[in-house]
Structure 1
Amino acid sequence: MHGGLGSLDGEGAVLAPMAGFTDAAFRVVAERFGALWTVGEMVMAGSLLRGSAEARALLQPHPEERSRVVQLAGADPDEVARAAALAYGRVRPRAIDLNMGCPMPKVTVRGAGAALLDDPERAARMVAGVREATGLPVSVKLRLGFAQVNAVEMARRLEQAGAALLRVHGRTAAQRYGGRADWDRIREVARAVRIPVVGTGDVRTVEDYRARRAMGLGVAVARGAAGRPWFFAEVRGEPVPARLRREAAQQHLRLHLDWYARRGEAWALRAFRGHLKAYLGAAPAPVRARALALERADEVAEVLGAWTGV
């Protein structure tokens, strides 16, 4: 076990967070297919402390979840520590993940997310504060740097502050999602510290996964798992036939509808459209367009049963 976050010694991948995508229902499906652990959607520390209904909803785990890690973001180390203590008291996650990699201006302009890459001392205080406030393992999501690469310096400082694990996206914040993720740079980070390093970026196939594991790195998957939660089984060498893929998509839909039942079926189906589009990636464009306009759950389930994993 690595600081309570789970073993990286065997085969398997971590589900990395994606806003609006890695909600409770999707995390459960990923776990069922063998995700090592899952990281929930980013919760802003200030919003949680102010009692935001949206923040509380993002924080809430599914009853079936076993491996969920809560991700927090913020600019002020004391505020983030208080939010981490609140999260621990409410949902008892297995670890706290600090987002120091989000490149979106609405986050970085507040001094949060990837803005922390240019302030290693503040970032280190945040890690130490969350550890002290919760007693939980603390992982950190990083990028290679903000505009300039400084991930090795950051990693060493965060390790000294008590981070249990680092998850490094192989791009700078300035790159956002353009270009190719630089896994050689991620490996440099891993060689510079003693704590585990999990890389992320451009892992779309089992071959991608194996190449990264051959570098001695842990692997996290985000967009590569969209519409493919069985990816976590495949990287373990467990084939998932088309029948089981279709069943998984329909199971996900049921979990999603149950989780959002209080908001009504119409709202829940609209919220599922991103997942639906991903599951139907191989379907003809007219099929996808018709599917995204469906307003009944049974019709959506029928389309998933016909086109998922083809």
Structure 2
Amino acid sequence: MAKRNIFKKIKQSKNLPQLPQVMLKLIKACNSDETEIDELIEIISIDPGLASKLIQIIGSVYINLPKEVNNIKAAVVYLGMDTIRNIAISTSAMHFFKFTKSVPEFNINQFWYHSYKCAVLARKIAEENDISNPDEFFLAGLLHDIGRLVLLENYPDEYKQILKTSSSESPILAAELEKFDINTPELSAWLFKQWDLNPLIADSVLFINESIEQIESAFPHVKIVFISNLLAEQNTLKNLPDLTALTDILGSRLEQILISAEKEVHIMAKSLDINLDGTQDKSCEEALTSKVKDLSLFYGTLQNLLHAREIDSVLDVVQNGFK
């Protein structure tokens, strides 16, 4: 099956995913230091479905705000712009993970878990390295395997055969090349280009499954997404010693970032009603305690304190955030 025929069929297919314009606007706005709360709220409000879902998530027991919140502006006051941004972008992207049940052998919850964990890690590592536009790395991590979903949607029978004979990533990628003349990273990178995303981010997706030796000489953006993908794998702590050659971040700090990311994934999964039973990384599971909720609210309150300009505002934030 020739690669050009794959691209042609996918372009003509109803199953060609489109990147939500709201998500693009959110990312652009959040990458600007001049974005105000009202501007963020206005962007979210463009999509009534997104706004409604966001209110539903904010009101869930897993977020557990100190009082009932029925509008986005009030939610921003309590949780902070960064938290609302992450929830909004993640919610907007959920339609990518709602595909048909034509291939029941494929575990979509496990797929989401790995993708979202890779996204959170990529953003955190980009921030740790003071890289501009960290949300682009979040998007790269979140959608780095989107090509697999497109293949599943357009070629369900062929992909069933792949899943029957291959269970780990390397054999699956090899089987994709043999059957389709293209693999998941190549198709994902192609989709990123179709969406007119940053070419550097498309490259980071394209090279995400190369060897560590090949990545050592790569550009920083490629290294960040590569590291995030490996850290998002099961029992990932064993990969830490190998990854230190690719970054100036100490192994102990990478472990802290990993545990923090696991907590964030756990909260988002609960908020979106995604069952992660049997998919979570056992090496980080002990970090997922009842303190997750308290940490989430603490960071939101801290964000608000940093933006408070008057003493009355500071007192209001403290009173609401630490009840």
Q: Report the TM-score when normalising by structure 1.
A: 0.30
Bigger relative contact order, structure 1 or 2, given CA contacts below 8 A and separation 6+?
A: 2
Higher alpha-carbon Rg: 2
Q: Report the TM-score when normalising by structure 2.
A: 0.29
More strand per residue: 1 or 2?
1
